[in-house]
């Protein structure tokens, strides 16, 4: 959740690090800091934004060719200057930046206090660097060995970078459960939580695996595991362009990413789907395809928006593949004793591929003999590496914290998986299969048409920007869309919003409806149309304000609803890819009108890499 940036080489480190921290602001944070080495090891840190840190450093001496930087999202200790990273060791000769949580920090802290250590912060990270130095001093060993020994004793998750005043050409990094990537330049190295701070300097990277330690010294990279066994670095080429992580003229990344969806959905399909030939192939699920086709059940594990995409996919898989599907919150699945049989298929879904709960849940399922398929966006991510097989969404970088194109990209991939399985299994007719492929290929153009509604949605947003509550209702395939619409509104505008199956309104939420309550109905023409019309009438009878997402040409609902947004017609199984677009725009514009930080909502992080 926090952001790590580090550099060692021939260039000035500070401009690279501060630029990298700005690139990582989308991950969510509450403070920032840097450590630079130029004779003395100096740490500068500040509560607030990276801009606050830059202002704090205006009169400081910042020349250095080695440094580490960090954006913190508070876990242990409130957001303030002292708890911000980096942290010194007891002697001040070592500095650390850390993402993750050290679960046994309290017992380590007590032991160190008994040895005379004094701590300035409330963080588990400061405990870790004190612990590393304590091991180095008492074992008279190298810093590399001290880090290795310390990591065999700590419990929890971490991505760390350590630098030493005694060695101005060395950085030591390690990870377990929190992402870390090393960019390789000419006699220089860049370290970061993800590739966004690296892409403008090099396209050659090494992704550090769990329980690996990277030692960068004298222009050389060595990797060992925590048992001191040397590993061979696997160098990959980044598939990312600098322009993809720039706003490109849009006011916010979120708006840019909403408008990128016609392209990102097309990119998901490219090379995989061709309706004219009936071709649909996902190269990443060839070896285990029969396991998916013959599965007795499928379990989907995810968090947040990814969970909503899984809920839609549940409908798709069950309707067309006739395979029972369970959709689980990864955070709950991992802590109970789920019934998993050998050969069960688990689909793990995550935009970043680094979601801590999802990773833990898939490891639990794998340990019980399940086959794991990963669906994620980030090439080389932990979920991609730890799955038996899977598929990338190819949506391109998503910088906005509130996922938009991730939802439609995940749903595109999951729907293609379902149709591929259904066709191989023979659970849908050839005619139906071909019809669905034709409809599927038209989705990017229909999403483009939805985006043309932007000005109309701005007008509706203006009328409801001061609301204190929203209710979102949908049925069937559109029920998860109601959940997603409500999530988008609450996370970026801070308006309380709830999504419900429309039929469940009578079982409680109807008590909330009065003339002040806006109710958003996803009411496109499908098999539940007549029922949702009745639900709209129930809301109107209680003077609720109805905003309806309807199919183009609907003649009935516009007579009932105060506000109508028309979307193009498509097969109801594909409609969530279309009907979600106006809800994304509605939440965005309301948030902007309320003066909210759309790309970096309070208290949220883009990649949830801690519990």
Q: In 13-63, where does DSSP find H-type helix?
A: 13-23, 50-56
Q: Catalytic: which of 2, 303, 321, 376?
A: 2
**2 counts as catalytic:** yes
Whole-angstrom distance, CA of residue 77 vs CA of residue 88: 16
Measure the CA–CA gap between 99 and 97, rounded to whole angstroms.
7
Strand pairing of 181-184 and 87-88? unpaired
272: its two tokens? 């995989």
As given in the structure block, the two tokens for residue 326 are 């369970």
Q: Rounded distance, CA 586 to CA 337, Å?
A: 40
Name the catalytic one among 45, 47, 545, 606: 606
For residue 1, count CB atoms less than 10 angstroms from its CB and return exposed for 0-12, middle for 13-18, buried for 19 or more. buried
Q: Which contacts of 176-179 are long-range, i.e. CB under 8 A and separated by 24 or more positions?
A: 176/100, 176/151, 176/210, 176/211, 177/100, 177/210, 177/356, 177/359, 177/382, 177/609, 178/99, 178/100, 178/354, 178/356, 178/609, 178/610, 179/207, 179/352, 179/354, 179/381, 179/382, 179/607, 179/609
Instruction: Return d(Cα 83, Cα 123) in angstroms, integer.
Output: 6
Spatial distance between the Cα atoms of 241 and 469, rounded to a whole number of angstroms: 40
What is the 3-class SS of 60-76, one letter each residue?
A: CCCCCCEEEEEEECCCC
Q: What is the rounded CA–CA span in Å between residue 239 and residue 204?
A: 10
Query: CA Rg, the chain, in Å?
Result: 25
**Cα–Cα distance between 562 and 560 in angstroms, integer?**
7
Nearest alpha carbon to residue 66 among 219, 224, 242, 233 = 219
Active site residue 450: no
Q: How far is CA 587 from CA 470, 493, 558, in A?
A: 11, 7, 22
Give, for 327, the enclosing helix (H) or strand (E).
strand 325-329
* Burial (0-12, 13-18, 19+ Cβ within 10 Å), 518: buried
Tell me the residue length of the chain.
611
Q: Is 329 helix (H, G, I), strand (E, B) or coil?
A: strand
How far is residue 13's CA from residue 57's CA, in Å, rounded to a whole number?
A: 14
Give the C-alpha separation, 99 to 175, whole Å.
9
Q: Which of 373, 325, 335 has its CA nearest to residue 356? A: 335
Query: Of 61, 56, 54, whose CA–CA distance to 37 is shortest?
Result: 61
Active site residues: 2, 606
């Amino acid at each position: 959740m926090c952001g790590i940036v580090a550099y060692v080489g021939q260039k000035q480190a500070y401009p690279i690090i501060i630029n990298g921290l700005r690139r990582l602001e989308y991950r969510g944070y509450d403070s920032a800091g840097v450590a630079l080495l130029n004779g003395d090891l100096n740490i500068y840190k500040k509560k607030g934004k990276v801009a606050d840190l830059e202002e704090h450093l205006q009169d400081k001496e910042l020349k250095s060719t080695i440094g580490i930087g960090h954006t913190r999202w508070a876990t242990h200790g409130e957001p303030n200057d002292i708890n911000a990273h980096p942290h010194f060791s007891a002697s001040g000769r070592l500095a650390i930046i850390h993402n993750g949580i050290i679960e046994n920090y309290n017992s380590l802290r007590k032991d160190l206090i008994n040895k005379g250590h004094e701590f300035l912060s409330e963080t588990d990270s400061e405990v870790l660097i004190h612990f590393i130095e304590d091991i180095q001093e008492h074992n008279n060993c190298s810093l590399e060995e001290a880090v290795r020994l310390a990591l065999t004793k700590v419990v929890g998750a971490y991505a760390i970078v350590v630098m030493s005043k005694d060695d101005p050409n060395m950085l030591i990094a390690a990870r377990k459960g929190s992402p870390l990537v090393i960019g390789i330049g000419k006699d220089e190295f860049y370290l970061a939580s993800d590739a966004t701070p690296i892409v403008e300097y090099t396209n050659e990277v090494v992704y550090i695996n769990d329980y690996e330690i990277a030692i960068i010294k004298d222009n050389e990279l060595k990797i060992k595991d925590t048992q001191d066994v040397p590993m061979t670095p696997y160098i990959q080429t980044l598939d990312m362009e600098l322009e993809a992580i720039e706003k490109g003229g849009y006011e916010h990344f979120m708006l840019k990413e909403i408008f990128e969806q016609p392209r990102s959905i097309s990119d998901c399909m490219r090379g995989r789907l061709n309706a004219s030939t009936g071709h649909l192939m996902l190269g990443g699920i060839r070896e285990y395809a029969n396991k998916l086709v013959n599965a007795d059940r499928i379990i989907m594990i995810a968090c947040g928006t990814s969970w909503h995409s899984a809920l839609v996919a549940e409908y798709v898989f069950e309707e067309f593949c006739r395979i029972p599907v369970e959709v689980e919150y990864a955070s709950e699945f991992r802590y109970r004793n789920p019934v998993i049989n050998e050969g069960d298929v688990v689909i793990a879904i995550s935009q970043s591929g680094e979601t801590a709960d999802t990773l833990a849940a898939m490891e639990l399922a794998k340990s019980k003999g399940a086959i794991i398929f990963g669906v994620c966006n980030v090439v080389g991510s932990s979920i991609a590496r730890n799955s038996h097989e899977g598929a990338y969404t190819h949506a391109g970088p998503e910088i906005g914290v509130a996922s938009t194109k991730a939802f439609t990209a995940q749903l595109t991939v999951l729907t293609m998986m379902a149709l591929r399985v259904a066709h191989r299994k023979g659970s849908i007719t050839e005619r139906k299969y071909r019809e669905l492929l034709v409809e599927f290929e038209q989705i990017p153009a229909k999403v483009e048409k939805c985006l043309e509604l932007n000005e109309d949605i701005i007008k509706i947003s203006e009328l409801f920007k001061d609301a204190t509550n929203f209710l979102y209702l949908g049925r069937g395939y559109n029920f998860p869309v109601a959940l997603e619409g409500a999530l988008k509104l609450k996370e970026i505008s801070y308006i309380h919003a709830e999504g419900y199956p429309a039929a469940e309104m009578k079982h409680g939420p109807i008590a909330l409806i009065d003339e002040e309550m806006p109710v958003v109905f996803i009411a496109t023409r499908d098999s539940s149309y007549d029922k949702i019309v009745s639900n709209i009438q129930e809301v109107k009878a209680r003077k609720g304000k109805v905003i309806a997402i309807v199919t183009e040409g609907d003649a009935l609902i516009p007579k009932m609803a105060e506000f109508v947004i028309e979307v193009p017609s498509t097969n109801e199984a594909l409609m969530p890819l279309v009907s979600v677009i106006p809800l994304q725009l509605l939440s965005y514009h309301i948030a902007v009108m309320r003066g909210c930080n759309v790309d970096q909502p309070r208290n949220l992080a883009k990649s949830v890499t801690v519990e």
